Structure 1
Amino acid sequence: MQVTMTVNGSEVTEDVEPRMLLVHFLRDQLRLTGTHWGCDTSNCGTCVVLVDGEPVKSCTMLAAMAAGHEVRTVEGLERDGELDPVQQGFMECHGLQCGFCTPGMMMTARALLDSTPHPDEQAIREAISGQICRCTGYTTIVRSVQWAAAHEEGAAREPEPERGTGPTAAQPETSSPPRVSEHAGGAS
């Protein structure tokens, strides 16, 4: 069967097997290997991509289900040679060690910051709760997201926080953080 979707801002049309998972479509057919394939059971979250702006575990969504939708992978974060604040935050605050979970964590963080520009620590931890990191212990991941929130373009700039810290808890939270869904039709 043939599917058409927008991936990282470009429309793509490809032939796929009806049972092909989105993760395999992205990695094997489009060669977007930043999306990792981990547990095969939707537990680890390494395969998270954004579908219409919502974090989705691409190992539980068929490529055919993404037809007509906008898919964004970790390769789509960087714009015109500039790293996304989330990518920069993971570098500045050492939010990665082995890096295997990092693309999924970054995509979840991007969705969170798109919906909640100034999340507190609890909101960040809740947003990434569907993902497993076996190396960093989450503290530096949370700091990385806080750094990104403090450095979003157009964000109201407060005095620069000390390295490794993020926005203050006094900043307003605008909405509930996005939850990683098992598939695009799933509940958040």
Structure 2
Amino acid sequence: MAEIKVPELAESITEGTIAQWLKKPGDYVEKGESICELETDKVNVEIMAEESGVLQQLLANEGDTVAVGQAIAIIGEGAASAPPAPEKAPQLAEEPKPAVPVDRAEQPAPQPVAVAQAPGQRPIASPAARKMAREKGIDLTQVPTVDPLGRVRKQDVASFAAQPAAAPQPAPQAAP
């Protein structure tokens, strides 16, 4: 059995959030095949299987924050779900890349913009932003964002939480 661990993506990245599992327990995976998407503050990556086998167990759920080096899944032997042996000639073994960067575009920090949400509409937010807002008791519809498409990200929630709370309005005095 082999553990799939969160790879070290950059020196400054210490954790990420499981955005989506691309495979489920019992699925057969090939070495180098994407098994999940990991979202960090800087980049979104696909985590690859480091060996072929059956995905035995998921050790983290979608939306969970996981540390670099933490095991997130277990791949083991299992003939029940294994596909038939390939008919083509074997190729030279290649070292798989543990993570493939999806988006590395860095942009200057624009000013936060309040994006109007339709009443009752759920705001578009990253799993990391949703988790942080839930933990801090923040309503995502109140969080301004710098994303041009209006998506709320973890850093938007963090900057909103760091702002001092608005001073409460004094209650009107009752007439004597």
TM value normalised by structure 2: 0.21
Structure with larger RCO (C-alpha < 8 A, sep 6+): 1
Q: Which has the higher helix share?
A: 1
TM value normalised by structure 1: 0.20
Q: Which has the higher strand share?
A: 2
